[in-house]
Amino acid sequence: NAGVTQTPKFQVLKTGQSMTLQCAQDMNHEYMSWYRQDPGMGLRLIHYSVGAGITDQGEVPNGYNVSRSTTEDFPLRLLSAAPSQTSVYFCASSLRGGTQYFGPGTRLTVL
């Protein structure tokens, strides 16, 4: 099993550009989530999904969109990047009530 994979590892964007952060898991997990990690703020939930076709907002959803068309994939879209979205982004997956497995992260810088 590859576990949870994320691409790209690093990305630099200019303000106003859009992009999609990719996340995939091969463990047939129902639950998938996106977090951002910022110094002094810890890890905060952006969006999550409890299954294909079902998504919901987390603590900091503004400026981000998600969709879940398959069990395996959960992409995160930045609609119009802002410097405040400079962060490290982590994707996670789990079975209901189970251990959460995290991907290696995407380091995003918005200039």
Q: Give the residues lining the site for other proteins (CB under 8 A).
A: 31, 33, 35, 42-45, 48, 50, 56, 58, 90, 92, 94, 96-105
Closer of 45 and 82 to other proteins (Cβ): 45
CB of 81 to other proteins, least distance (A): 22
CB of 93 to other proteins, least distance (A): 9
* Buried/exposed code over 54-84 (b: 16+ C-beta within 10 A; e: otherwise): ebeebebbeebebebeebbebbbebeebeee
Return the residue matching tokens 């603590």.
Answer: 59
CB of 15 to other proteins, least distance (A): 25
Q: What are phi and psi of 84, to 5 degrees?
A: -65, -10
Q: Which residues pair with 76 in a beta bridge?
A: 21, 66
Closer of 70 and 80 to other proteins (Cβ): 70
